[in-house]
Amino acid sequence: MINGSPLNSVPLGSAGGPAATPQPVNGGNSFRWRLVVLVGGVDWSERLTGEVEVDREEGAAGVAQFSLCLPEGPVLPAAWKGRSVVIDFVFEIDGVERVSRRHTGRIVEPSWDSATRTLHCTSSDQLQQRVEALDVAAIDALTPQAIWSEDIFEPVSGRSRWDYAQERVTTIQGALECSAAGDIRLNTWSSSIAPNYEFNAGAVVDASVSVSLADLDAQTNVVEIELGHRFSRLWQHTFQFGWQHPDTGGIIGIPGFCIWTHAVTSELPTFDMIREATESQGMTMLTGVRLDRLPPTGVYCDPPQSWINDSYEERLLLAASWLAAIREVQQVTETYTLRVEAPQSVADSGEIIARTSAAVQIDNELANTWESTPFGMAARGENAPGSIIDGTGGGGGGSDEPMTDLRDESRRQLAIRCVLAQAAVTIVGAHRGTTVTWDVPSAWAAGADLVHTLAVRAQGVHASGKCRQIVDKYSLETGSALTTLSVAVMLGGGAVADPLVPPPFDTSAAPRPTGGGNLPTQIGGLSTSPPYDDALDGFSGNYGSRDNDVGQELYPRRFAVPVPEIPEAIRDEWKASIERTYRISIRNDVLELL
């Protein structure tokens, strides 16, 4: 390639790619031409008959049709299928010969006319088949601007490579095609500021200019997208509990123990009772439990007094402080209502709406095991280091992890970017439906390619746009060599464009449940003891002695922990809605009807 054009298609140094000023094509007095057709590497040019046509269009396979008058002898038409084909247009102007490659492909459909001994051949550059033969990395390299999401499409493994390539192209303002030399390339829709070639009246065939205006109903200017993002939210509701015997004077440690010994002693709960009561309510006790235990046998208090504790291993308690937790899994659905619009087009033509939807489902194995996997003391054991702290009372240790979202932010971002890019491509593509077509002698069009921006100023039409189609027709009978050029004229306008970036995700959540607190105590056996309340949480027991013998009610020795109430807002699916509008502008190519 030289200057963006195939080698020898234009003189060296001529404007093949985007140019600061267009290269005017005004035509000339005459040119001589011939075709060179190689089939399977053999020159069959002398056997050409009838007409030769080469058709190349953006986003489609290039096709050539020609006929060969075969010499005497047996013919096997099927043997011609798959043979390579190269077609060159050779022309001479003012004694200078130039060569322009017009087609590179393979015969895909030969047919035989026995009456005229003519083999009619259809050759294709096999765009689809050649892309199908590429690996994923090669397709990605061909379409680096693409935004592809497995959540919007399907996993690549085991699928058509052509379908995968086309999916990527839906997010690019362009198309895959083959050059005349047979190279696969991505050709964008964007036209250059100045056309590469401008065809004036002297180069355009008389009465050949035509304008096909875009259908208004097909001019989509709004795309509405509804995208659902669903994932699991892991809750760990943590509650602080505390209990202290009322006869300790609210003091912990040995001072509180000494106060308790001077009162009428009573039954006490054990650590096992507290833990079992907590777990019976569906909660798990976290590590870092603080216990104010009856001290082991020794001498304590002031004045000193001996204390014998034969049940120290039972872990009888005067006070305790602990954290308990409940785990739950909540489903969260974020619904993104996104609108991509071309405001100028909407103002000019009214809304022409297209709608699409997509879903991103985040599956995470952690959600399946969150509630059933042991944690806290159930996982570490009650005697693990740091699990139980004796003799300090108050406070409470452990971690508090209220909420974890199992979202995949990279997948969310990629999926939204993908659908936004698709919407922009849909709108921009719908605004390049106007086509201007004209015929020129093939020698004057030899430098033009599908990657170029072409302009025409002839027969009352001034138009400029990206080349959409090139059709060469060569007649070996009349000597005519004409090329039909078509350009896509993009029209839409607008001066404001928003970045197509995903909106932030929703951060709302249900209110956290409340619970826990300091638990009460009821002790029976004295004449002053109130009636036993079975509904009262905390510790229930009896004093070790009675102040009279009138048959006071004895309380059961037990410990009860209240179960916190989890709000329905947490148990039910959490739904959030996010709305966003994006504006895009559309280039205005030139279209003037004079």
462-507 pLDDT per residue, tens: 999 999 999 999 999 999 999 999 999 999 999 999 999 999 999 9
In-domain check, residue 183: no
C-alpha of 353 from chain center: 23
Q: Where are the beta strands (DSSP E) in 114-214?
A: 118-124, 174-178, 184-188, 197-200, 210-212
Q: How far apart are CA 511 and CA 155, in angstroms?
A: 38
The whole-number pLDDT of residue 22 equals: 73
Q: How many domains does the chain have?
A: 4
Q: How far apart are CA 419 and CA 337, in angstroms?
A: 12
Q: Are residues 380 and 252 in the same domain?
A: yes
What letter would DSSP give residue 351? -
Q: Is the pLDDT of residue 418 over 60?
A: yes
Q: Are residues 121 and 140 in the same domain?
A: no
The whole-number pLDDT of residue 469 equals: 98
User: Residue type at 501?
Assistant: V
In-domain check, residue 274: yes
Report the relative pairing of strands 558-560 and 538-542 from DSSP bridges: antiparallel
270-293 pLDDT per residue, tens: 999 999 999 999 999 999 899 999
SS3 312: helix
Query: Please, what sign has the CA dihedral across residues 23, 25, 30, 33?
Result: positive
Q: Are residues 406 and 340 in the same domain?
A: yes
Residue 303: cis peptide before it, omega within 30 degrees of 0: yes
Q: Is the pLDDT of residue 2 over 60?
A: no
Task: Kindly state the tokens that stand for 428.
Answer: 């921009």
Higher pLDDT, 23 or 444: 444
Give φ, ψ of 309 to 5 degrees: -125, 95
Q: How far apart are CA 448 and CA 466, in angstroms?
A: 11
In-domain check, residue 394: yes
In-domain check, residue 188: no
Mean pLDDT of the chain: 91
Q: Are residues 444 and 508 in the same domain?
A: no
The whole-number pLDDT of residue 13 equals: 33
The whole-number pLDDT of residue 386 equals: 74
- Answer for the pair 439, 208: CB distance below 8 angstroms, yes or no: yes
Q: Are residues 241 and 102 in the same domain?
A: no
CA dihedral of residues 400, 406, 410, 414 (deg, nearest 10): -140
Q: Are residues 387 and 453 in the same domain?
A: no
Q: Are residues 290 and 395 in the same domain?
A: yes
Residues 460-481 as b or e (16 or more Cβ within 10 Å = b): ebebbbbbbbbbbbbebeeeeb
Q: Are residues 164 and 284 in the same domain?
A: no
Q: Is the pLDDT of residue 392 over 90?
A: no
Structural domain range at position 538: 520-560
- Report, as an integer, the average pLDDT of 544-571: 85
215-246 pLDDT per residue, tens: 999 999 999 999 999 999 999 999 999 999 99
The whole-number pLDDT of residue 7 equals: 35
The whole-number pLDDT of residue 15 equals: 36
Q: Are residues 480 and 548 in the same domain?
A: no
SS3 331: strand
pTM: 0.87
The whole-number pLDDT of residue 3 equals: 34
Q: Specify the CATH number for the domain of residue 56.
A: 2.30.300.10
The whole-number pLDDT of residue 154 equals: 93
Residue 269: cis peptide before it, omega within 30 degrees of 0: no
Q: Are residues 87 and 162 in the same domain?
A: no
- Report, as an integer, the average pLDDT of 515-542: 93
Share of the chain above pLDDT 90, in %: 83
Q: Are residues 468 and 552 in the same domain?
A: no
Q: Are residues 384 and 443 in the same domain?
A: no
Q: Residue 401 — very low, low, confident or very high, per pLDDT cuts 50/70/90? A: low
